Amino acid sequence: MKKILLGFIISFSAVNIYSQQLYVSEITVRQGVDGVCSASAGEDMSKVSVTNSTGARIEFDRPRTGYPAGCLSLCANITAVIQTTADANLGVDDLIFEIFKFKAGANPLDPSSTPPIRTISMHNVAAFSMATVSTQTYGPICTAWDGSYNIEGFWGKSNGQFGLRVKVRTNMVSSTAGNINIEQTSAFPGQNQDPITVDVTNIHVIKSTPTVVGKITGVGAQPYNILYRLSKDATVTIAVEDSNGADIRTIADSDPRFGEGIPDGTLTNGDFWDGRDNSGQLVQPGNYYVRINAGARDPYGWDAAKEYGFNLSLDPLQITDIAIKDLGPLSTDVAIISYQLTEDATVYLDIYPSGTTFDDINCSNRSTSCGPSNPTPLKTISSSMPRRQTVSMYWDGKNESGNYLCDGNYVFALSAVTKGRGGDLWTSRLGVGTVSIAKGDPLAFLTPSTTVIGSTPPAAGLNPFYFRYQLQRPATVKLEIKDMNNNIIRTLVNNEPRSSGLTNQESWDGKDSTGKWVADGTYRSALTITDPYVCMSGNIFTHDATFSSNLFRIVDVVPTSIIGLSTQAAISYQLSQSMWTDIKIYKQNVEINPDDWKWNTGVYAVPSNILYSISGMRPGRYRVTEYWDGRDSNGYMVEDGRYPFTIVAHSTGTQPIYATDKAYGYIDVSRGAIMFTEFNVVPTIADMKNSSDVVKLPPYEIDYSLTRQSAVTITITRFGTDNDVVARVVSGETRDPFVSYKDFWDGKCYKGNCDDGEWMIGTYNVNIYARDILANPDANITVSTVTMTIDNYPLRIYDLAIAPLTPDSPAIINYQLSEPMKVAIKIYKPGTRFIADEPICSPSEDACLVDTIIGIRPARTSITESWYGTAKGTGSPVPSGNYIFKIFGSTDTNEIDSITGNCPDAGCNSLAYDVMIQDLPVVKTYIEDPCKYFEDYSYFAPNPFNTPSGNFKLSLPMIGNVEIRVYNIAGDLVYSYKSSDKPGWGSGIPIPSEGGCITGLGDSPDRNVCSEEFNDPRLNWKKTNRSGRAVAPGLYIAVFKFQATQGSKELCQFKKKILIP
């Protein structure tokens, strides 16, 4: 027994039959019976032996005798092992043969690795008795296989090596045996077995498809593609026969072709038939039979494949993808019939009247032979056309006589003919359809339009009038203007040609055929079109459209008022035509009634009611602006208020036509008061050389600007009065608007309530009065006024500067005068006191007076006076000290005595506003470094402080105050001293000259340093703090400070240590 591969699935439902077995005990492959391939229990061909070198093989596609041939028997023995008896038979329900093809890595028992290509099932093949315990074998059970199986939907054979699985299965139910379910699978080849080899010439997977012509309605046509696969390389013969069996075409005649490839190749051979016979002529339409034969020789002999035949139908000349474009409205439009041909042919396009029918459109001839109900075509177009591409035939809508046909649906018939087997080869049916002529009305639209001007309101119905229209195709045009009673007013176009494809435009100027303006109203534009591209019976087309005419208008009337700063009013408007225009501006009390239009009678014609009028010819279609300066006919400026106006316009000629608009309105005059856009009074600011003070002097610049032309008066009045005029700067002079004016006042009386040229000293008002020029004297006149208050002190001594007398230079007094004056400078002794600018001297001023300087000095320039420190009369030098001087002046040179500098008993009346009293330091001892001098010669003694009390010594470089503060090491103030606290020393210690000293009780050890020494008991310190308690021994810090108060502002400070043991 052969060793084979086994697999089991066994289940039992009763304990007493657990040991029943059923399996395939042997698989063999034997020689089959050819003819009709059938099973046979012949010789086992699957053994591996030297004597049997061929093995199990299928070598021929067709049946034949001998071995190897074209058929094998697949056999299996089934064995049952009965180990438990039962009153029943163990039946074999199914025996299944699964044939598979070997590939790389194939596992015969795994269907996923070796999927079956052919399955052969056998049912109820055997029954085993279970009456006795035994082992029973049944077989061989065989089935036939000729190598064929389903290849891509075709029954065929492929070459290679094959194996098989045999599955035995039972499922039985018995009252004594119970439920027995056994399934077992064995595989071939087993041990010492070779696989089955198939090596035949076989034709399979045959496909025949026509070529599709057309993209819309594709049809099958030649060439026919013939695809097939061969199990191995072979020679092939392909022949085509007609329905009578006659040979038509040999496509392949024992030509070599390739096999598909082993083990699982898919190489496909392709041949085709072009629909022609062996002489190259197209065959007639019909059904044809194709035979395919193949054969090959190998060591076992010539193997002729089973013939394969199939039918195919062929209609070699067809028309497809018929598409129609109807004839449209344009003159260049044509009807287009497009299509595709399967073969080159002559095509006939026959055009028939609407409603034409045919006896049979499948007539295989031209349409005229297919029984048309209208036997004669209106138009025939024929042409030779190429195949397999979209071609077109064109029809211009004319008949055979060249006349245009009327709009409608026409029947067309397409047929084609070419040469073929047996003569002319016609399309087997007509391509029939309808094609339309749809030219329609040649006019696309007619649009009349008028000129529009203005916006408030817009005015339409104006000339020129435009008539725009588009023609679908060139035509002859007549355009007439008619009234609503159908009377012809004007013929604009009289049977003239016009083009298509653009917008035609005709214009009308609004006049009739005699050149006169037409009356306002509604009119018709009548357009008549003669179309040469349509049939004569319907080539006249008419259209009309209505429009309105209103030729004389006044629009966009816009008044501009006189408001605020504006100086002119304006009336702007636009006329539809050039017209004579009358504009009248009336008084405020005139009321405009639109029902009184033309406004040429009654109150509108009274001359006294008309303030201003403008008349004249004005252009049309142009914005006209008329100006009014707000004055009446006499040139007077009108009062503020609302003034009505009217505009009336008409054409010129014997029959004037008035503009229909009732144009009127109002101009507001609202000037308001005259405004000053600028007003300022600017004094002359003195040019200071030595001081930063601001001194205001005449002349005064009066700056101003007005909003409109005015008569201006400028007066200077005393402050606090309205009519006390001291000067008239300007009297009624004309000033223009928005111009910066500058007038000047010199600070003196001029045409006022005073003497001309007299200096005005004190506070005054600068007043400007402005009134309208040429104002109507009968009207209310408004005067605008502005005022500014100023202080006028024209006689001034200013810019004073002093330099002390020193050993190197005299004392210097610098100053300036606002006007030329006689000046007196009196120098007094130090300490002289004054009351009301007068010195307090006893018994007279001479007791205090040291010297005088008197003279006439120029104005507004720096003046320098020098004093050399000598006494008046004696000429002897004065000692150091802080002298006092007084300076005053008068514009009247006779008022100040040239010797004494005194005023007369009645006093000086022209004195300068300023009388200055100032200190004049005299320093005879010169100290180069005041702070160093103060530090070097100021100290505390004794130091160390080992006595009950000690004294501070202070050396002063000049008149000034001193301060001492003593601090302990913790920073607490224990002692302080201020010289200014002593009565009479508030303005400084009154030393007669530099180098003076002050000290506590007792003489100073360096008294010779001081030019003069003062004692001040407060400078004696008794080692007590400010509370009177004794201070502790230790180190103390004394801070010395000096502040000059006369002629200089020196500030000096230093520190010294005091040790109390």
Per-residue model confidence as pLDDT tens digits over 426-469: 999 999 999 999 998 888 788 999 999 998 789 999 999 999 99
Domain containing residue 575: CATH number: 2.60.40.4070
Residues 180, 271 within the same domain: no
Residues 345, 364 within the same domain: yes
Q: Please state which of the ranges 565-569, 728-732, 1036-1040 shows the lowest mean pLDDT.
A: 565-569
What distance in Å separates the CA atoms of residue 99 and residue 74, rounded to the nearest whole number?
A: 10
Return the SS3 of 537: helix
Return the SS3 of 844: coil
Q: Which residues pair with 245 in a beta bridge?
A: none
Residues 36, 165 within the same domain: yes
Residues 684, 774 within the same domain: yes
C-alpha 122 chain-centroid distance: 84
- The string of pLDDT tens digits covering residues 899-952 is 888 888 767 888 888 899 998 888 776 677 888 888 988 999 999 999 999 999
Residues 74, 192 within the same domain: yes
Q: 585 Cβ partners below 8 Å, 6+ apart?
A: 610, 611, 612, 613, 628, 643, 644, 645, 667
| pLDDT the model gives residue 644 | 97
At residue 257 the predicted structure's pLDDT band, cuts being 50, 70 and 90, is: very high
Q: Please state which of the ranges 321-335, 641-655, 947-961 shows the lowest mean pLDDT.
A: 947-961
Residue range 347-368: average pLDDT? 95
C-alpha 51 chain-centroid distance: 97
pLDDT exceeds 60 at position 474? yes
At residue 29 the predicted structure's pLDDT band, cuts being 50, 70 and 90, is: very high
- pTM score, whole prediction: 0.53
Amino acid letter at 53?
A: S
Residue range 318-336: average pLDDT? 93
Domain boundary among 314, 338, 366: 314
| pLDDT the model gives residue 53 | 64
Does 449 map to a domain? yes
| pLDDT the model gives residue 988 | 65
| pLDDT the model gives residue 50 | 45
Neighbours of 8 (CB within 10 A): 12
Residues 95, 31 within the same domain: yes
Domain containing residue 1024: CATH number: 2.60.40.2550
Does 958 map to a domain? yes
What distance in Å separates the CA atoms of residue 42 and residue 28, rounded to the nearest whole number?
A: 10
Does 354 map to a domain? yes
| pLDDT the model gives residue 352 | 96
Residues 24, 169 within the same domain: yes
Residues 910, 949 within the same domain: no
- The string of pLDDT tens digits covering residues 653-681 is 888 899 999 999 999 999 888 899 999 99
pLDDT exceeds 60 at position 17? no
Q: Sort 53 into a burial class: Cβ within 10 Å, 0-12 / 13-18 / 19+.
A: exposed
Neighbours of 304 (CB within 10 A): 17
DSSP 361: S
Residues 99, 223 within the same domain: no
Contact 505, 470 (CB under 8 A): no
Domain boundary among 146, 179, 198: 198
Residues 38, 184 within the same domain: yes
What distance in Å separates the CA atoms of residue 752 and residue 721, rounded to the nearest whole number?
A: 13
| pLDDT the model gives residue 925 | 64
Q: Sort 925 into a burial class: Cβ within 10 Å, 0-12 / 13-18 / 19+.
A: middle
pLDDT exceeds 60 at position 123? yes
Q: How many domains would you assign to the chain? A: 8
pLDDT exceeds 80 at position 1001? no
Closest alpha carbon to 823 in 802, 852, 793, 849: 852
Domain boundary among 666, 698, 726: 666
Does 671 map to a domain? no
What distance in Å separates the CA atoms of residue 559 and residue 542, rounded to the nearest whole number?
A: 49
Domain that holds residue 478: 443-549
What distance in Å separates the CA atoms of residue 1019 and residue 413, rounded to the nearest whole number?
A: 150
Residues 172, 45 within the same domain: yes
Q: Dig out the tokens for 201 from the structure.
A: 């010439």
What average pLDDT is seen over the chain? 89
Residues 660, 704 within the same domain: no
167 or 1003, which is more confident: 167
What distance in Å separates the CA atoms of residue 346 and residue 351, rounded to the nearest whole number?
A: 17
